[in-house]
Chain A
Amino acid sequence: QVQLQQWGAGLLKPSETLSLTCGVFGGSFSGYYWNWIRQPPGKGLEWIGAINHSGITNYNPSLKSRVSISLDTSKKQFFLRLSSVTAADTSVYYCARGDTAMGFTYWGQGTLVTVSS
């Protein structure tokens, strides 16, 4: 049974850097791409970016200048960093496993990140 568990700071000040970690429990780390997706309160879903097991990344152009996704295969973890946050970055952030044929098959529980001075 695959489970994704995520953690990280939930309250940031403007201009700080958001950092989240997602741990993968069960299943293989290779053969999939590992994603971050966010959802502002009461709104829809936005794909942030992804990384595969080889470390190749793919980012949403709307966030590309501020986003970095990396991974540690030995720990089966991947990471999100989003720099220079503003109130507009306040969202629930999800990690998710991507399957080329199936889309986002497993999701983390979500982390609410609030940006406020």
Chain B
Amino acid sequence: EIVLTQSPGTLSLSPGERATLSCRASQTISSSYLGWYQQKPGQPPRLLIYAASSRATAIPDRFSGSGSGTDFTLTISRLEPEDFAVYYCQQYHGSPWTFGQGTKVEIK
């Protein structure tokens, strides 16, 4: 099973600031099969990024993804009030599909 470790656990930032979230895999995964999701309280996750760097439909361009091999990054260039949420990385390179434990982006 591929374990995904996200850091930091919590990120305290102000609106307008830049957020950098990390996801490290326990083994090399194809960047074609790494995604990022945003989840707000009481809602299902929403796909933001797929294939490590492609934005899903209707996702603003302040969200970007990068990385390869075992290290991947989600960057939010300038935080908007609606961006404060929990973010998960997820791999669909090998079964069982797995998620990271999440990074909470909170208002400082």
> Is A65 among interface residues, defined by CB-CB distance under 8 A?
no
CB contact under 8 A between A47 and B99, given known A103-B35, A103-B90, A104-B37: yes
Per the bound structure, the CA–CA distance linking A62 and B98 in Å amounts to: 12
Q: Which of B35, B44, B46, B95 neighbours the largest number of chain A CB atoms within 10 Å of its CB?
A: B44
B74 CB to nearest chain A CB (Å) = 14
> Is B69 among interface residues, defined by CB-CB distance under 8 A?
no
> Is A58 among interface residues, defined by CB-CB distance under 8 A?
yes
CB contact under 8 A between A101 and B51, given known A44-B88, A108-B44: yes
> Is B60 among interface residues, defined by CB-CB distance under 8 A?
no
Closest to B98 in A: A47
Per the bound structure, the CA–CA distance linking A101 and B56 in Å amounts to: 11
Per the bound structure, the CA–CA distance linking A103 and B37 in Å amounts to: 10
Count of chain A residues with Cβ under 8 Å from any Cβ of B? 22
Give the number of A-B contacts (CB < 8 Å): 52
Q: Which of A58, A59, A103, A105 neighbours the largest number of chain B CB atoms within 10 Å of its CB?
A: A103
B67 CB to nearest chain A CB (Å) = 15
Across the interface, which residues of B come within 8 angstroms of A110, CB to CB?
44
- Decide: A104 and B95 in contact? CB cutoff 8 A: no
Across the interface, which residues of A come within 8 angstroms of B97, CB to CB?
47
> Is A94 among interface residues, defined by CB-CB distance under 8 A?
yes
Per the bound structure, the CA–CA distance linking A73 and B97 in Å amounts to: 24
Residues of A at the B interface (CB closer than 8 Å) are 44-47, 58-62, 94, 96, 98, 100-105, 107-110
Residues of B at the A interface (CB closer than 8 Å) are 1, 32-33, 35, 37, 44-47, 50-51, 56, 88, 90, 92, 95-102
With A102-B51, A105-B47 given, name 15 new contacts (CB 8 A). Answer: A44-B100, A45-B90, A45-B99, A46-B99, A47-B97, A47-B98, A94-B45, A96-B44, A98-B92, A100-B92, A101-B50, A103-B33, A104-B35, A104-B47, A109-B44
19 A-B pairs within 8 Å (CB atoms) are namely A44-B99, A44-B102, A47-B96, A47-B98, A47-B99, A61-B96, A62-B96, A94-B44, A94-B45, A96-B44, A101-B32, A101-B51, A103-B35, A103-B50, A103-B90, A105-B56, A107-B44, A108-B44, A110-B44
